[in-house]
Amino acid sequence: MVSHESDSIFAGSMPELYDELLVPMIFEPYAEDLARRLVGVAPGSVLEVAAGSGVASRAIAAALGPSTTIVCSDLNQPMLDHAQAIGTTHPVEWRQADVMDLPFESESFDAVVCQFGVMFFPECASAFAEVARVLRPGGVFLFNVWDCLAENEFADVVTQAVAAQFPDDPPMFLDRTPHGYFEESTINGDLSVAGFDVPATFDRVEARSRALSSDVPAIAYCQGTPLRNEIEDRDPARLNEVTTAAAAAIADKFGEGPVDGLISGFVISATRHR
């Protein structure tokens, strides 16, 4: 079976497909939600970790304006390059950085924000401790996570369709990683160990995932995420065939298009101990 280390590899055409297809389909509503919440915090300095292709970076920069110092970081250089090439309405600093060992002085930021990235951290409590270290006392860690797979319809259908193509070794990236870290008790436990006040604030946020055709969610998930790594690890010649099967499954449940499905996530706000 493919190593789970591949869950964090976004290379080749993934950043472009991710930004072109997944961002408008599932990420933009939550990025705007995070940015609005950050405005309420009124931070003078913000660090974004796991910035990915920059959808939240763009929303945050637009919402906070040039008076706020913003540093946007990601472990994955191809994703960061893609985000930087698109840019933001107001200048931000782009930094390649590992959340497990952040290259910033202690107590440097008023807020740290993360858009659907904590699920990719190798060890969440340790990563959260690094976040707490670079936050000033009383600083806010604002992040979101996806709800379980069953509450995210396109991702659920794609996972089942792809699994059916490899019944002896089903690729389970979407269930395991993006939709695998949402239990409130688990997250509060990791935050507490890291130095945050608990219980943190949890808000469930539902939205609609829309696309012009059934092909779009299939291509987005099968070719624009590390699910592609799992498919190609099993049989690199079958990527298009498996994507077509996923598109057929989407069409069977939602129609050929336009398609519309439920997405659900949680927004968590945690305060560092004073």
Which pLDDT tens digits describe the chain residue by residue (274 residues)?
Answer: 333 655 455 555 667 787 888 988 999 999 999 999 999 999 999 999 999 989 999 999 999 999 999 999 999 898 899 899 999 999 999 999 999 999 999 999 999 999 999 999 999 999 999 999 999 999 999 999 999 999 999 999 999 999 999 999 999 999 999 999 999 999 999 999 999 999 999 999 999 999 999 999 999 999 999 999 999 999 999 999 999 999 999 999 999 989 999 999 999 999 999 8
- Span between the terminal Cα atoms of the chain, in Å: 45
Helix (H, G, I), strand (E, B) or coil at 114: strand
What pLDDT was estimated at residue 60? 97
The token pair that represents 229 in the structure block = 């790594």
CATH homologous superfamily for the domain 4-271: Vaccinia Virus protein VP39 (3.40.50.150)
- The total of other beta-carbon atoms located within 10 Å of residue 271's CB is 18
CA distance 31 to 215: 24
- Domain boundaries along the sequence of the chain: 4-271
Q: In what order do the strands lie in the sheet with 201-211?
A: 93-96, 69-74, 45-48, 109-115, 135-146, 259-271, 201-211
- The total of other beta-carbon atoms located within 10 Å of residue 198's CB is 14
